Amino acid sequence: MKILHHPQLADIHLCSVLQALSDPIRLQIVQDIAARGEQPCNNFNVPVAKSTMTHHIRTLREAGVVQVRVQGTQHIVALRTEDLQARFPELLPVILKSSAE
């Protein structure tokens, strides 16, 4: 089984987080997780191919925005809310609020 890399808290950088969230598809994924909680990759209603979805999830994971865990054949995606709050207080709520408006 492939080991998925998740950056440590100290290795999460603001520029990486903002770059990951600058894409509308990735922002929609984060909004969906924030609204409905953790979910499998195939539950997201985004107009992209499976390989493109994999790329978006990987970008979010490597930036430290999401945590991905393998459960059987599924990859479950959750926000790293506590880590992001500890590293960049109030960043995620502000981004989610402004993107919803």
3-53 residue pLDDT tens: 788 999 999 999 999 999 999 999 999 999 999 999 999 899 889 999 999
Answer whether residue 5 is part of any domain: no
CATH number for the domain including 15?
1.10.10.10
What is the tally of structural domains in the chain?
A: 1
Contact criterion met (CB below 8 Å) for 66 and 57:
yes
Q: The whole model's pTM is what?
A: 0.93
| Helix, strand counts (H, E) of the chain | 5, 3
Answer whether residue 1 is part of any domain: no
Domain range for 71: 10-100
Answer whether residue 4 is part of any domain: no
Q: Say if residue 97's pLDDT is above 80.
A: yes
Q: Residue 45: name the closest of 61, 34, 29, 57 by CA.
A: 29
Answer whether residue 18 is part of any domain: yes
pLDDT tens digits along 68-83? 999 888 999 999 999 9
Q: Say if residue 2's pLDDT is above 90.
A: no
Q: Say if residue 1's pLDDT is above 70.
A: no
The pLDDT assigned to 48 comes to: 92
